[in-house]
Structure 1
């Protein structure tokens, strides 16, 4: 019987601690979940007693672990590699097309804007004129690609809980592939025509229609949670984050090299090929992670926009849970929202800031981003191995370390006067990359697998809607400060990370109170058991 149990657990390397406290086992050697996790199986009845310090978060269920040898790390790596391979190149292409098609400069004057060669003084003056226009394009792109996906993801998560994760993954990868093909065609036509850069927004429409990266990443983390045992959930999510980071690093490093030796159209076609490989991998090697009922395609489609799913989502997210469970989940989601707000806000102006402040080329930018991501990946490994595995620090404490690194990183960026100081700032943010994986682990441990899609849908919706405010805010601040202090937006980011740090202090406080309560209850029960066994004492 024990052998069967071991075979049902996903075969991964030795896991690290999963609870907020040290792992515990019963007398039979079975793993005991932390106070935050449900302990009842799906077949057990819901108990109606008042929650105590020993009660887990509700609703009561225990995810069924399904063995999977092949998982999503490879397709996730490929799709992020494709996005970062073409992303910086297309931003430079927008600058170039704005110069040629909108402001009607000749190709020789606009050539430095491709980012391959350093800018001349004349090119600097031209780019300062173009940047506000391009910033509006990136702002519109960010808003367009996030508003509808933010709404759609509210249905995607609950729908996938009912009908499975695999269909969403297949549709998402197919849409991204079609988008890269459209972009390749547009870039090819722009060689012969003075194509307005606003047309490049068409390349993102297929992915936007089906939920974009928002829906894809939501389902990826749901899938990983479905197939992972309780002990290995944070580790598997960490590996997915590492796959994303590796894709980002290689994409940034290879994009400038590929552009120098080929063309923008070849770069976009290469991105499309990478996504196609990931799509084929999912189609042939990835099975469904949930036990779903077989039904017709028309029934699945009709059930997608079921507002009853939204009602269930709201009930799940606001359900009262013992041991400060609802407060911990709410605070964690709020921190994820603010970090997403910052990311989407900086996305449209950071490269423009580096070009304006330090006159960087595309190759210098991609090297910097690759170095930045590598530093964060190393910091993640250090945090996981040293602070979690050996020192058994709570997830919230490690997340606080990451947020402290974010504060130092962006404060130094705002004060930087030389480009090498940007690298120094990145070293201060060594552990900044660990924050989001730790927050995801807290959420994954707090709810059962059959409700994780609902929670992640709410998180993704809030994160995806953030560009509605952050993109206009950061674009407005950047355009207003461009001529005298283009890095001013970094101080806004610093203040937001300080706010997140304060919220994490509150989460840590709740966790410590629960831990203290559990220990007190265990001590009381042990004392009671001792007195019963020794009545003459």
Structure 2
């Protein structure tokens, strides 16, 4: 009798603990969700404004330093590269300077990718214990330091183009955008329901788009008004504000996270666990689906990093655009992305009841047509036509990640996101070298080859997603408990209470 009473007491205590845990979870979830709804979009908006401002300014400076320090032309000959307006004065130097610039760009991109690729192998599993906030705050701190070093580089005229390697080191060792994006998506998967997740991930894309538009529209006016160095200073200030705001106001989204030290990150057991979870055998061809989706997402990142700064170089060479022309095009292109995100998810997907995969296929199809048009562009309106055709071209990345959160158990989402981020960190080690080599070879004959390659790769991604749709069509559906749901806690509590029985 005594043993039965003790057992019942323990069970009642367990039920009370479940109730307390549910209340705590609800409280943390509600406050964290409010924090995330305000902060995450703000993070992406500011980082895109700062990146757009600094990229145009630093491109001008590096082109000028390449011309003066590496190719040993006179200051007067090279000075037009510092201007946001392209003139015929640099026509004879353009190919020579661009060709050398691609070497510098390739090396800096590779170095900037090594740190994030390594960190992502560890941080996915690590964040399941120590939380998501460090994955967001650390990269922002590194970005701030790199932005400050960039200002110093811009002020010191005696430094050549290869000194850009130094200024990217803090960003690289803190995880850069790869770790930041992984942290943001993990936070969203913690705090959103399955129904709202696609919309929330699209709002992230919209924040990126609006930030890019603002940066693109403001950049040429600031460059003319205050010059390259002061634009870099403004970008650095935005990065510092972004870090400080996030560090103070962003709340941890993972319930029960504990503080972790730097030494706890580099545990190879974390890498082993990530690889095991991502590549283990699963029923209904789930492993094949995960790998195909990962390949499609990675190839889309491949072309993103591959084109990178070459898009501006391509338009300078092929269409004789000045920086203001490219910034105007970029702003309109991002506005199209903004409209496409809203129409694609909020209207087409919701009204037609299309899955994330179906809309992603549409996204890759439109991107394939977009770059095919741009590869043969001979007048400016061809570029705008391509962007208009690619109305849904930016939806694939967020929707693939959203789809992962719906087909995976909650404890494996961070591992798969970490794998995606690790591959995204490795891809820039390959794609810039490949794209820059192709651009150098075809610069005089057919510079649109890089656009044609991009169109071909997007076509491959579309085919991979169609295969995944087929695999899911012939296999039973599998669903998992939403990560932020308290239903599991409720069920556990109900089971404990119903299991008390008579004393």
Q: TM-score when scaled to structure 1?
A: 0.80
CA shift at 1:516, angstroms? Answer: 8.3
C-alpha contact (below 8 Å) 1:377/1:433 kept by paired residues: no
Aligned counterparts of 1:514 and 1:209: Cα–Cα separation in 2: 42
Match of 1:502 in 2: 463
Q: Which residue of 1 aligns with 2:171?
A: 207
Instruction: Please state how far the C-alpha of 1:293 moved relative to its aligned partner.
Output: 5.1
The number of residues matched between the two structures is 450
Assess if the C-alpha contact under 8 Å between 2:319 and 2:380 holds in 1. yes
Matched, 1:222 2:183: no
- CA deviation after TM superposition for structure 1 residue 115, in Å: 4.2
1:483-533 CA distance string (max 9 Å, x none): 111111111112111111111111111232346899xxxxxxxxxxxxxxx
User: 1:69 is matched with which residue: 13, 18, 34?
Assistant: 34
Q: Contact between 2:131 and 2:257, CA under 8 Å: does it hold in 1?
A: no
Aligned to 2:407: 446
Partner of 2:147: 180
C-alpha separation between the residues in 1 aligned to 2:83 and 2:72? 19
Write the mapping of 1:331-342 to structure 2, written as runs, cut at 5 A: 331-342=292-303
Partner of residue 156, structure 2: 189
CA contact (8 A) 1:66 1:228 kept: no
CA contact (8 A) 1:345 1:473 kept: yes
Counterpart CA distance in 2 for 1:515 and 1:247 is 41
Q: How does 1:119-138 map to 2 (within 5 A)?
A: 119-120=87-88, 122-138=89-105
Q: Hey, what's the Cα distance between the residues in 2 that align with 1:471 and 1:366?
A: 22
What is the rounded CA distance, in whole Å, between the counterparts of 2:477 and 2:107 in structure 1? 49
Residue 136 (structure 2) aligns with: 169
In structure 2, what is the Cα distance between the partners aligned to 1:448 and 1:157?
15
Return the alpha-carbon distance in structure 2 between the equivalents of residues 229 and 275 of structure 1: 31
Q: Is the 8 A contact 1:110 1:123 kept in 2?
A: yes
- What do residues 324-366 of structure 1 show as CA deviations (whole Å, max 9, x unaligned)? 3222221111100111111111114221111111111111111
> Residues 102 and 196 of structure 1 are in contact (CA less than 8 Å); yes or no, is this contact kept in structure 2?
yes
Deviations 1:95-120 (A, max 9, x none): 11111222232333223222422321
Alignment of 1:94-105 (within 5 A): 94-105=62-73
Return the offset for 1:283: 2.1
Question: 8 Å contact 2:314–2:447 — kept in the other structure?
Answer: yes
- 2:113: which partner in 1? 146
Matched, 1:417 2:368: no
Contact kept, 8 Å, 1:348 with 1:475, in 2: the verdict is no
Instruction: Tell me the SS of whatever aligns to 1:323.
Output: helix
Deviation at 1:124, TM superposition (A): 1.0
Q: Is 1:363 aligned to 2:324, yes or no?
A: yes
RMSD after superposition: 1.9
Q: 2:265 aligns with which of 294, 304, 307?
A: 304
Alignment correspondent of 2:218: 254
Name the SS of the counterpart of 1:320 in structure 2.
Answer: coil
Q: Partner of 1:392 in structure 2?
A: 353
The answer to whether residue 52 in structure 2 is matched with residue 89 in structure 1 is no
Confirm whether residue 463 of structure 1 aligns to residue 431 of structure 2. no
Match of 2:339 in 1: 378
Query: Which residue is 1:31 aligned to?
Result: none
> 8 Å contact 2:57–2:229 — kept in the other structure?
no
In structure 1, C-alpha distance between the alignment counterparts of 2:176 and 2:221, rounded to whole Å: 27
Q: Report which of the two has the higher share of helix.
A: 2
Tell me the CA shift for residue 168 of structure 1.
2.8
